[in-house]
Structure 1
Amino acid sequence: MNISKIKNQVEGLLYPSACIVCGEETKGELVCTYCTDKVLLIKEPKCMKCGKHIDDEYKEYCPDCLTASHLYRKGIGAFEYNEYLKETLYDLKYHGTKYVGRLMGKEIAKKYRHDILEWEADCIVPVPLHHKKERKRGYNQATIIAEAIGNELHIPVRDDILLRSVNTVPQKELSKEERIKNLENAFIIRENVVKLEKIIIVDDIYTTGATIDRCAKVLLESGCKEVYYIAVCIGVGV
């Protein structure tokens, strides 16, 4: 059996041909023909900072990025956050559908290949879970997504750089101000980490940017020069 055939068989196991929304069989696509209008890439025009869709084509930044001082340099929110992807990502987190994270990471790498490679990042760092939460869940969904992107684009993935030192309350339950306070001192840099110049942070959902900013803060303080982010979904009009 040749290497190519082995690779195809392995990919068949890692990336089942099932729609991430309804579970129907597909021909290697992210969604089936009936669900194509339920999983939508963020359309132009986009905010030049966070990548969120903006209604006015003559504006360069969304209202949030005009007023907030985000610490990351630039980001990609790949898909619109809607009721379908809300359920899909919930299943990824809590029902063990890890193949969804792999498929979405692979799709992001394919659709945004040029933009991501243009950043010339040294590595990809998934947003960490607290060790108690990861032990209970058995995996970190951000790591699964990050590894799929890294494998496609040949960018190293480092899950040994950031540590979540505080078992925080879920961000979805909090207001914007509470999200920021909730994440104070939540992340730390592990000891003996080689300093890297450009890092991409990966998470499943971008809402206010509080989580990405907190991760960026400790990375920049450790000597990193530029921080970027990739999220599977980004809220529209948040």
Structure 2
Amino acid sequence: MSRWSDWGKALLDVIAPRCCAVCGRRLSVDEQVMCGRCNLHLPRTGFELQPYDNEMAKMFWGLIPVERCVAFFYYTSHAPESRLIYDLKYHHHPEIGYQLGHMLARDCMQAGFFEGIDMIIPIPLYKKRERQRGYNQSVEIARGVAEATGLPLKKDVVERITFGGSQTLRDRWQRTENVEDAFRLKDTSITGHHILLIDDIVTTGATICSCAQELLRAGNVKFSVLCLGLANRE
């Protein structure tokens, strides 16, 4: 980064100070989204070191042809780090998704996670819900991953055609029923490709499975999965 860019960022931080999305402390020029302390204490999963066999990957075994799975951190409702997700989804901060996606991708790149992956497909939102929010948080995460990796981002391969309400308060079986037949394949050119599916939070994997099963209609498709948070179900 040039000296003038550094000066510009420093000036912008004086005019419009940025704050840590977790603790609210003012960020330094070289910090993004989180301050150094909150970043250090983020409950990372470390799944990038064992992407083929971890507790998230096991959710999809026998359901979809899954290769590798990584979640950035363990997500617990109302924990300090949950503010990252609340602000991303409900407080109109799409930049949090992009920046966290970029951070997650850099961690995974060091472990060779992206080798053999052909494209990125974010889990789509129902169109009405996306209009209400103004963006799809999974697309914002995927944009950060695509920027870091150079992988193509495909947003129009599959669409969500039903929305039965939030998954938040549903149990495993209700979540599965809620997203059954919720997606429709629009582009069959993905045949024979290794797809990276990206979502914000994975709890039971029901939404990922429903979307993947529709994508499988294209034929000879395999998947890896990347998300920000793996929900703590205890």
Shorter-chain TM band: 0.7 to 0.9
Q: AA paired with 1:69?
A: G
Q: AA paired with 1:222?
A: A
**1:1-238, aligned counterparts within 5 Å?**
18-24=19-25, 25-26=27-28, 27-36=30-39, 38-43=41-46, 49=52, 51-52=54-55, 69-71=62-64, 72-82=66-76, 83-113=79-109, 114-118=111-115, 120-191=116-187, 193-236=189-232
Normalising by structure 1, we get a TM-score of: 0.80
Q: Contact (CA 8 Å) 1:160, 1:190: kept in 2 or not?
A: yes
1:17 CA drift (Å): 5.7
Q: Contact (CA 8 Å) 1:18, 1:28: kept in 2 or not?
A: no
Deviations 1:83-132 (A, max 9, x none): 223222011111111121111001001111133322x1111000000000
C-alpha separation between the residues in 1 aligned to 2:229 and 2:217?
27
Q: Tell me: CA distance 1:194–1:229, structure 2 relative to 1, closer, same or farther (3 Å).
A: closer
Gaps (5+ residues) in structure 2? none
The 3-state SS of whatever aligns with 1:96 is: coil
1:161 CA drift (Å): 0.5
Gaps (5+ residues) in structure 1? 54-60
Q: Contact (CA 8 Å) 2:158, 2:187: kept in 1 or not?
A: no
Normalising by structure 2, we get a TM-score of: 0.82
Count the aligned residue pairs: 223
Deviations 1:141-182 (A, max 9, x none): 000000110111000000101100002221112100111111
Q: Contact (CA 8 Å) 1:122, 1:196: kept in 2 or not?
A: no
C-alpha separation between the residues in 2 aligned to 1:203 and 1:226?
17
Q: Tell me: CA distance 1:235–1:36, structure 2 relative to 1, closer, same or farther (3 Å).
A: same
> Which piece of structure 1 moves more, 28-37 or 176-185?
28-37
Q: AA paired with 2:70?
A: I
Give the 4+ runs in structure 1 shifted more than 6 A: 2-10, 44-47
Q: Contact (CA 8 Å) 1:30, 1:104: kept in 2 or not?
A: yes
Q: Identical aligned pairs, as a percentage?
A: 26
> Which piece of structure 1 moves more, 196-205 or 36-45?
36-45
The 3-state SS of whatever aligns with 2:81 is: helix
The 3-state SS of whatever aligns with 1:171 is: coil
